[in-house]
């Protein structure tokens, strides 16, 4: 009888341990997903002004993505200058893994002017019917960014049927024009169209 009671007690304790693991372990796993599997943070080491060869070398060594499109255009020289026209190039990559950007048409884009980087961003799209899924993804990205970029400032944009909401992030409280910044935002470019899409993006290295 004593052995039977001990067995039942041990069995109940094992059940309780398993339940606690399922509840708290799963919660910890989901939190770890936010902070450990999002490899896009490595891209924040790409800085505005870097040369194209340096940027491409860094991507090749640190981020798995496939080049899917290249656009090259010539722009007039800067106003007031007597220089040559500016060569603008946009490289669009499709990430090989999409652990943190869960919409469709996820792209990683780099914009160069005369072979110098001036803009880098990641984006994904959600149909408006998937607003809750988009917000969940938005909050997850926010948690990832906040682990390294402590200062957060809310931003809003609007104009010509376009609205956008998000945050700017910096590592220091005081800022100036040269302060490194990461922006997280979701944009509705056609607020009057219920069948349109939300663009969810993370932008950095922006001049």
- Length of the chain in residues, anyone? 207
Cα–Cα distance measured from residue 105 to residue 123, given in angstroms and rounded to the nearest whole number: 8
pLDDT at 12 over 90: no
Give residue for tokens 């040559």: 84
Cα–Cα distance measured from residue 50 to residue 27, given in angstroms and rounded to the nearest whole number: 40
Instruction: List the structure tokens of 17.
Output: 């341990």
pLDDT at 21 over 60: no
CA 75 to chain centroid, in Å, comes to: 29
Shortest CA distance to 187 belongs to which of 103, 93, 66, 64? 103
Cα–Cα distance measured from residue 47 to residue 179, given in angstroms and rounded to the nearest whole number: 12
DSSP 8-state secondary structure symbol assigned to residue 76 = P
Instruction: List the structure tokens of 50.
Output: 């870097």
Adjacent-strand bridge partners of 74: 87
Q: Which residue has the higher pLDDT, 205 or 126?
A: 126
Torsion angle of C-alpha atoms 158, 159, 161, 163, degrees rounded to 10: -10
Determine which helix (DSSP H) or strand (DSSP E) holds 109, and give its type and residue range.
strand 104-113
pLDDT in tens, 149-184: 999 999 999 988 899 999 999 999 888 877 889 999
């Amino acid at each position: 009888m004593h052995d039977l009671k001990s067995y039942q007690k041990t069995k109940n304790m094992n059940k309780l341990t398993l339940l606690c693991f399922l509840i708290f372990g799963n919660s910890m796993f989901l939190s770890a997903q936010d902070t450990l599997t999002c490899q896009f943070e490595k891209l924040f080491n790409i800085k505005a002004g870097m040369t194209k060869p340096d940027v491409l070398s860094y991507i090749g060594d640190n981020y798995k993505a496939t080049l899917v499109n290249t656009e090259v255009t010539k722009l007039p020289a800067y106003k007031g200058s007597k220089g040559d026209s500016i060569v603008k190039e946009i490289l669009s990559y499709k990430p090989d893994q999409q652990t943190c950007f869960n919409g469709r048409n996820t792209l990683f884009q780099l914009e160069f002017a005369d072979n110098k980087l001036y803009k880098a961003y990641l984006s994904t799209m959600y149909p408006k019917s998937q607003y809750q899924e988009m917000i969940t993804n938005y909050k997850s990205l926010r948690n990832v960014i906040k682990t390294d970029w402590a200062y957060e400032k809310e931003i809003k944009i609007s104009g010509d049927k376009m609205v956008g909401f998000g945050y700017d992030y910096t590592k220091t409280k005081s800022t100036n024009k040269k302060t490194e910044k990461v922006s997280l935002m979701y944009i509705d470019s056609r607020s009057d169209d219920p069948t349109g899409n939300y663009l969810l993006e993370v932008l950095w290295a922006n001049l």
